[in-house]
Amino acid sequence: MTTADLVACLLAYLVGSLSFAVIVSNAMGLADPKSYGSGNPGATNVLRSGSKKAAIFTLLGDVLKGVVAVLAAKYFATQFGITALGIALVAVAVFLGHLFPLYFEFKGGKGVATAAGVLWALDWRVGLALTLVWALAFAATRVSSLSALVASAAAPIAGYFFFGLTPIFWATLAMMALLVWRHQSNLQRLLSGEEKAFKR
C-alpha cells in the first residue's frame, strides 16, 4: 500500500461520511431520520417521513458519493500512484464512511445505496448484475431488506466471476459481510415473519 492509497482512502471515508438522509432532511425542514421509523439514516427510512422527494434525493446522494469516490480514485490512479489495492480499499473506505460517518457521531445508515454506487463505479458489469438481482428479489418479495441481503450475497460471486481473487473481489466480500452485519435486526424480523413488505 502506498501513501497515495492511504490518502485516497482517507478522502473516500470523509466523502462517505456525508449522510445525505440527515443533510436532505435538514435542508427540507424534515425531522431527523434517526428520530423515527427504524432510526436508520437512509432513503427507505426518509420515505417514512412522507416526502418521496426527500427519499429520492437521499438515495441519489448516497449512491453518487460511492460513485464519485471510486471513479476519482480510478481517474487519478496513474497521476498520483494509487494502486489497484488502493482503489479496492477506497471502495471499502467510502462505504465505511456511510456506516460510521465522522460528521454524525459515527451513526450511519446500512449502506445499500452507497454499496450500489461503489459497485457500479468499480465495474459496470458487477453493478448491473447486482442491480438486476436486487430488482428481481424485490419484485418477488416486496421486502427491501431481503432484496438487499440477496444482492449483497451475490456481490462477491460477481466479483470473483469477473475478476478472480483480486482486490476487487475482497472488497465486495468485505462489503457483503458489513451489509449482513448491519441488517441483523432485519434478519431477525425476517426469520420471525415480522419484516414488513412494501404494498403493491
* Span 74-119, pLDDT tens digits: 999 999 999 999 999 999 999 999 999 998 889 888 888 999 999 9
Q: What is the domain range of residue 185?
A: 3-192
The answer to whether 152 and 180 are in contact (CB under 8 A) is: yes
52 falls within a domain: yes
**By percentage, how much of the chain surpasses pLDDT 90?**
52
198 falls within a domain: no
Interatomic CA distance for residues 196 and 191, integer angstroms: 12
Task: Give the number of domains in the chain.
Answer: 1
> The dihedral of CA 135, 138, 144, 146: what is its sign?
negative
pLDDT tier at 186 (50, 70, 90 boundaries)?
confident
Q: Is the pLDDT of residue 200 over 60?
A: no
Lookup result for grid cell 441519489 = 60
**By percentage, how much of the chain surpasses pLDDT 70?**
96
Interatomic CA distance for residues 91 and 80, integer angstroms: 17
Lookup result for grid cell 489495492 = 85
The answer to whether 111 and 179 are in contact (CB under 8 A) is: yes
- pLDDT digits 0-9 by tens, 13-64: 999 999 999 999 999 988 888 888 777 888 888 888 878 899 999 999 999 9
Residue 73 in grid coordinates: 480514485
14 or 145, greater pLDDT? 14
Q: Is the pLDDT of residue 196 over 80?
A: no
Q: Is the pLDDT of residue 177 over 70?
A: yes
72 falls within a domain: yes
200 falls within a domain: no
Phi, psi dihedrals of residue 45, rounded to the nearest 5°: -75, -35
54 falls within a domain: yes
Where residue 123 falls (left for φ over 0; alpha for ψ -120 to 50; beta otherwise) is beta
197 falls within a domain: no
29 falls within a domain: yes
128 falls within a domain: yes
Q: Is the pLDDT of residue 143 over 90?
A: no
User: Which of 186, 198, 146, 172 is closest to 38 using CA atoms?
Assistant: 186
Predicted TM-score of the model (pTM): 0.89
